[in-house]
Amino acid sequence: MAQVNEFMQQTGQPEQRIAGCHAIVLSGGASRRMGERKELLQIAGEPLLLRLCRSLSEAAEEVTVVADRERSYDFLPSHVRIAVDQVADYGPIAGICAGMTNSRLPLQLVVACDYPLTSPRIWTELAQLLTSHPEVDTVVPEAGGKLHPLCAIYRSTTLPVWEAALRSGNRRVMEAMQAMRMLAWRPEAAGAAGLMNMNTPEDFRLAKERLGEC
């Protein structure tokens, strides 16, 4: 596994969307530790899912929200597609499969709905790294001492790997990824801060604090 330690400098928002990029928002999950559905948590007066989709629309050509079951997200813009996990109660791998089969674009940006601080800057960096390293299948951020495969970018050619994991009953994302050529990206502190994974009410409070809401 290769390591990338330099954070390529970029100022402001990307001037245009990432060519050939489809964003998959994983909004399923039991949210047991949070106690309520994460995608509906309010940040700055709007659902977290809406905030994330709006931001992803700045970076990706297409955006698909994958839910764990049939759900109505009437607050989302009309251009955002809605898909449902191919296998109920299976976890992220089912969501990734459902999302990837919903688009023919070559770059598949996967973002779980519990990453409230991530941004187009991070997604653009991931896409630039993937396109500049044709020998790899995925670029995964590494921050806080762990990899973040649910805030990462993949080639669409990895879909058979995910489907094989689904058929075999493997629910572990990192285990499925062992069949992929992976590049780990270690951003500087500014980029790493955007990779906060929100699982508990305390995480939610901290996220709002970092966003200047409280």
Read off the tokens for 52. Answer: 């994330």
Which residues fall within 8 angstroms of residue 9, CB to CB, at 6 or more apart? Answer: none
- Region for 69 from its dihedrals, namely left if φ exceeds 0, alpha if ψ lies in -120 to 50, beta otherwise: beta
Q: What pLDDT, on the 0 to 100 scale, is given for residue 12?
A: 38
Q: Is the dihedral of CA 125, 118, 180, 86 positive or negative?
A: negative
- Mean pLDDT score, 159-176: 96
Q: What pLDDT, on the 0 to 100 scale, is given for residue 142?
A: 95
Q: For residues 186 and 3, is the Cβ–Cβ distance under 8 A?
A: yes
In a 13 Å sphere around the CA of 126, the CA atoms on its Cβ side amount to 35
Q: What whole-number distance in Å separates Cα of residue 12 and Cα of residue 10? A: 7
Q: Residue 51's closest CA among 61, 63, 34, 67?
A: 63
Instruction: Calculate what percentage of the chain has a pLDDT beyond 90.
Output: 62
Give yes or no for residue 195 having a pLDDT over 70.
yes
Pairing assessment for the beta strands 46-47 and 81-84 based on DSSP bridges? unpaired
All structural domains of the chain, each given as residue ranges with its CATH number in brackets, are 18-210 (3.90.550.10)
- Mean pLDDT score, 39-51: 90
Q: What whole-number distance in Å separates Cα of residue 28 and Cα of residue 65? A: 9
Question: Phi, psi (5° rounding) for residue 152?
Answer: -145, 175
Question: Phi, psi (5° rounding) for residue 16?
Answer: -150, 165
Question: For residue 49, which amino acid is it?
Answer: L
pTM of this structure? 0.88
Q: What whole-number distance in Å separates Cα of residue 73 and Cα of residue 164? A: 30
Q: What whole-number distance in Å separates Cα of residue 108 and Cα of residue 202? A: 31
pLDDT digits (tens, 9 = 90+) for 118-145: 989 999 999 999 999 999 999 999 998 8
